[in-house]
Amino acid sequence: MPGQTYMLALHFVELYFDEEQQRVFDVKVLVNKQLIQALTNFDIYHEAGGGYTAYTYQDSFTLGEDGRLSIYFASSVDQASIAGIEILLPAVLRIDAGSTNVFSDELAPSPRMWQADGYFTGGGSGYQSGNIDNAADGSAGIYRTYHSALGFTYTLGPENGLVPSTGYMAVLHFAELPDNGVTMQAGDRLMDISAQGQDVLVNFDIFKEAGKPVPLLLCNVYCNSYRRKLY
């Protein structure tokens, strides 16, 4: 839609080469009559830290009067490659679970504002210090606060800006932090998560899935209805 800002997410993975500088290319985005250099001399293997490792580039773009966005790939070594493309509307709502304050992650070039914890039933909040591996620049703070209990529910609806009969993507952020100084291990915390009556994660183990003592994991949940509940 002309004049609307969208989030562009480009997903990459190196499945063929097993070392750096075997595939190098540029990515440019043409929007609102401007050709923007998104990635220069991009090496998937180098940026992802190895082969068979996902890497995602994200940025926001505002469409011009023509309502079009074009993505150009040009290789300098071997062939350009991409695994997936997402064009998403900006987030309706961001919640820093467990926090009592508004938080800005200062993520360049577009800082994101996270609301204090709310819209939940059950559970309580907590805070743990510590380094957060894989967190985007400036965003580690949202992982140091958390909401926890044996069971709790978040309920979001039109009062939060959701439009009835519209599809949304819920992104759930997890980090397994030390418990009173003791590092958690696989099997120490298991949970089920459902959205709108359907299981999306069963026997979910943050440590096991993320694979690091202080990890980060993103889980995408697609919802399409009047009101969304996460249990």
Per-residue pLDDT of the chain (231 residues; tens, 9 = 90+): 777 778 888 999 999 999 999 999 999 999 999 999 999 999 999 999 999 998 989 888 888 889 899 999 999 999 999 999 988 776 678 899 999 998 887 664 567 788 999 999 998 888 887 777 767 656 777 888 889 889 999 988 888 877 777 667 788 888 887 766 677 788 888 889 888 888 888 888 888 887 654 444 444 444 443 333 444
Q: Do residues 114 and 42 share a domain?
A: no
Q: Do residues 46 and 115 share a domain?
A: no
SS3 content of the chain, % helix, strand, coil (to 5): 5, 45, 50
Q: Do residues 84 and 108 share a domain?
A: no
The range of the structural domain enclosing residue 111 comes to 95-230
Q: Do residues 173 and 225 share a domain?
A: yes
Secondary structure element (H or E) that encloses residue 45, with its range: helix 44-48
Out of 26, 59, 88, a domain closes at: 88
Q: Do residues 61 and 145 share a domain?
A: no
Q: Do residues 136 and 221 share a domain?
A: yes
> Among positive and negative, which fits the CA dihedral 120, 113, 204, 127?
negative
Q: Do residues 99 and 84 share a domain?
A: no
DSSP assignment of 11-78: EE---S-SSTTSSEEEEEEEETTEEEEEEEEE-HHHHHTSTT--EEEEEEEE--TT--EEEEEEEEES
pTM attached to this predicted model = 0.59
Out of 88, 113, 136, a domain closes at: 88
Number of folded domains in the chain?
2
Q: Do residues 82 and 169 share a domain?
A: no
